Every structure is written in structure tokens, then in C-alpha cells.
Amino acid sequence: MRLDNQRESQNVEDRRGGTMLRGSVGIGTLVIALAASYFLGIDPALIMDSGSGTSTPSPAGRPARAPATKDEMTSFVSRVLGSTEIVWHDIFQQAGRRYQEPKLVLFTGATPTACGTGRSALGPFYCPADQKVYIDLAFYRDLQERFRAPGEFAQAYVIAHEVAHHVQNLLGISAKIHAAQQGGGRQAAANELSVRLELQADCFAGVWGHRADTMQQIVEPGEMEQALAAAAAIGDDRLQRQTQGQVVPESFTHGTSRQRVRWFKRGMDSGDVRQCDTFSPESL
């Protein structure tokens, strides 16, 4: 990616090098959490804390600070976040609204969040309660080695997807969906709403990619395919086949590989958030 001229965001909080949180979590809870969140979940820490019966207090009021060590990956993450800020400020301004920038927290192992204890084993996630994106940069090694999705644009897609959950939070979409999920209906229906929310986040991530490239020409030849490969690698069907040897559509929470690629590409091709309505179509 061409990010040399992109400013670094000041909304990065580096907690790496601190004391790792310790707690008691049963293997059953871990399995449930992994199955429920898979990858790029909204706030998987909620699942972990509900299983352990404890909740780690949020570091409320703690100001974001610049990364302690300006390593190459930290700089990359800061520049990608800065790019999302430019794009979403522009989109919100055009709609007559004000965009509130999220914070991005770098951590190692585990860290306290307003949603409970965030753990690197569950992948990057967004916590709506404190409006922060959390990521252990070791995840990018898994993205390349486990998910076979190398490349900088694939890494940027991960951040853009979580920032998209922040956008959904600001627009009130997440709250409506979560309220509907708590309505006492079937679990399969709640899962379908989760799928639609995740696919919209994929589409929003594509909108960011389109607009960022239009504004600053950040995408190198062939990098579009990197992001598509990342989206395909994390489809529920593919992950279930890898982890349990069979596919159970009723338990999907993020969408199939084909769906994730389709909606990310839809946003990337159009650059139009109005093309990201995943809640109206009968077929995704």
C-alpha cells in the first residue's frame, strides 16, 4: 500500500509491554467464544466474561497515547486508522453529521476493556461501550500463516472492518440489531441478524477502500485481491469446515466466504454506503 504520505492517527493507544491480565477461563467457555466470534467479532470479550462470571473494569478516562515504540507495523496501523478517519469524516460531513473518531488499542495477550477482558486469542474486535478497536498485532502472523491471506491491504481490511462496526455503533444500527436479538426469538434468527451486521461491516470496509484510493491512491496493483482473499478466508463455512469438519448454516454469525467477498467488493466497487443495506434483501 502507498501510505507514505498518509498522516498517522493520534488515536492509537499502545498497551504492549504492560502486565498481562490473568483470570480463570474454562476450556468450554473458550470453545464457545471461538465458535461464536471466529474472527473479526464485534466484542468477543463479552462471551469470555459471561463464562468466567467476572468483569474487568474499564480504564475509563485513560487518554490515548502514541505508541511507545515506532516500529514499522505500529506506523502502518496508525496510518491506516488515519485513512479511515479522513474517509468517514468526509462521509459523515456530506450527510450533515459529525464523525466521532474511535481509539485503537494495541495490546499483547489480554487487556481490560469496557466490554470485559479482551483476549488476543479471539482476534481483533470492537467494543461499543468504550468505542475502541482492540488488536494484538501478532494476529497478522495468523492472517498470513493460518488464513493464507498475506499482504498489507488484507491487514488494512481487518482494521477497516472493525472501524466499520464503530460506524454502525454511531449510526445506531448495532443497538437496533442487538435489541432485536434480545427479543426472545430463535437463536437461528439472532444469528442471521449477526450475519447481516457483519456483512454490512464488510461493505463499509469496502467503501473505505474505494474512497481512500480515490482520495490518495493508496492501493497497489494486485492488492484488491489480497483483501478479497482475506474476506474469503474468514467465511463461516470455510472456518467450520476447517475446525469441525462440517458446515452448520444455522450457526453462521459472520456469513459465508462468498457472501463476505460479495459485500466487501460491493462497497469497494461503489464507494457508496447506500449500497451496503444488508438488512433489506431476502438473499445475501
The one-character DSSP state at 84 is H
Return all residues near 150 (Cβ < 8 A) that are at least 6 apart.
143, 144, 226
Integer Cα distance of 99 and 78 in angstroms? 18
Can you give the pLDDT at residue 237? 62
| Amino acid at the residue 169 | N
Return all residues near 221 (Cβ < 8 A) that are at least 6 apart.
none
Integer Cα distance of 22 and 53 in angstroms? 14
Q: Taking the alpha carbons of 194, 199, 204, 209 in that order, is the dihedral positive or negative?
A: positive
Can you give the pLDDT at residue 205? 96
Can you give the pLDDT at residue 225? 85
For 241-260, b/e burial (b = at least 16 CB within 10 A) is eeeeeeeeeeebbbbbbebb
206 phi, psi to nearest 5 deg: -65, -40
Q: What is the pLDDT along the chain (284 residues), one digit of tens a residue?
A: 999 888 999 999 999 986 443 333 333 334 344 444 444 454 444 444 433 333 333 343 444 444 344 589 999 999 999 999 999 999 999 999 999 999 999 999 999 999 999 999 888 999 999 999 999 999 888 888 877 777 899 999 999 999 999 999 999 999 999 999 887 678 888 999 999 999 999 999 999 999 999 998 998 888 888 888 887 776 776 666 767 776 777 777 788 888 999 999 999 999 999 999 999 988 88
Question: pTM of the prediction?
Answer: 0.79
Can you give the pLDDT at residue 31? 39
| Amino acid at the residue 118 | G
Give residue limits of the domains in the chain: 12-276
Integer Cα distance of 127 and 268 in angstroms? 25
Closest CA to 196 of 76, 277, 84, 83: 277
Can you give the pLDDT at residue 172? 96
Can you give the pLDDT at residue 224? 83
Residues in the chain: 284
